[in-house]
Amino acid sequence: MNLKLFDKYNKIISMTFNSQSPDTESLLLSFKDGYAYFNNESMRGRVKIEKKDDIDDLCVIKNQFLVLSKLHNEIEIKDDVFYYGKNNFNFKKEMVDIEKVEIDKTKLKLLENFNTDENYKIIQEASNFISINGAYNGLFIKNRILCSSDNECLYIRRFSFDEKFIINNTFLKILKYFNQIKTNLPYKVYYYEDDIRTINKKFVISIDNEIDIIINVNNELQSPPIDDPGVISRMNIDSYISCNSKDLLVSGNQLKSFGKLLVLIKIIDNQLSISFLDDIKVEQFVELKNKHNIEDDFEFCVDLEKLVLILKSLENEDFITIKVSKDSDFAIFSNSENNLKKITLSKYE
């Protein structure tokens, strides 16, 4: 029996392991089907194995079998026991109810060109603005807009898909892993068109002849209210400054070395000043490129770590625009030229 695919997809299969549940603790080897099946509450999957009509279904302890796949590429199986030379490994456990994944790709719609390097870079960037324990635990895509929020920042970016769908935490982890492994076979992402209006939407991520994964996504997860007229009105800020993003990022990183959380941003003539609020007397200055409807000595306070994270997302831009006013409860950071991306950051009093 060849174990290379189990080693290759070890991290994905391991995601479904839970010793507190018989089915998620187990891996079902179905030699007559030619697949090994695994599952948990948020995903189900199957890995390709050699078909052997003379071997009945075998249930094994998942994490122990995965350790074996790291030790050996090939093993023998006899009477439900695995052998490598004279060494034997008995991981058999009582048969449990693990659903055998069946996928009818005639009922699936392919997300064309989803797995491009550019799209993955955008998804990874947006995922930096998710709080697992926050109100918006996922990436939300609708009308060619992708957004995410950790309650303190709101990330909004133009994206290349008209379909409305959600990328939850499980989906993100699998995408990350598929983009890390070395494979000549591209992965494909599908969804069931019949699920488009249901609460639970299923996505299928596949690498042909190797692995198929079905991910359940709650289609009613709450999304940031970017279409709400009140939110749109609050984001309509007419006063702004613009500056070199790299210069501001350098200043932010230097201040971050002092380990403080909050910084005061102040407009002084044609410069932007960043300093701490307490007894650490450190102040950085960045030249402004532009200033509109903002008075000298205007100031606001933000979280330094979040500020640096936003600036890293915009560091490929020569200049960024920061929209802010005395009446707004957040500042909006965006690309100066094409407004392709904007990120809000809460202000502190």
Q: Where are the domains of the chain?
A: 4-89, 105-218, 229-346
pLDDT at 7: 94
CB 58: neighbour CB atoms within 10 A?
A: 19
pTM of the predicted protein model: 0.88
Residue 184 has pLDDT above 80, yes or no: no
Backbone angles phi and psi of 129, in degrees to 5: -110, 40
Residue 194 has pLDDT above 70, yes or no: no
229-346 has which CATH code?
A: 3.10.150.10
Residue 195 has pLDDT above 60, yes or no: no
pLDDT at 54: 92
4-89 has which CATH code?
A: 3.10.150.10
The CATH class that applies to domain 105-218 reads alpha beta
CA-to-CA separations, 243 to 13, 29, 143, in angstroms, rounded? 47, 59, 31
pLDDT at 197: 55
Residue 336 has pLDDT above 70, yes or no: no
pLDDT over 70 for what percent of the chain? 95
Burial of 199 by CB count in 10 Å (0-12 exposed, 13-18 middle, 19+ buried)? exposed
Residue 185 banded pLDDT, cuts 50, 70, 90: confident
pLDDT average, residue stretch 252-279:
90
Residue 260 has pLDDT above 80, yes or no: no
Question: Chain-wide mean pLDDT for the chain?
Answer: 89
Residue 41 banded pLDDT, cuts 50, 70, 90: confident
Fold match between domain 4-89 and domain 229-346 = yes
Residue 146 banded pLDDT, cuts 50, 70, 90: very high
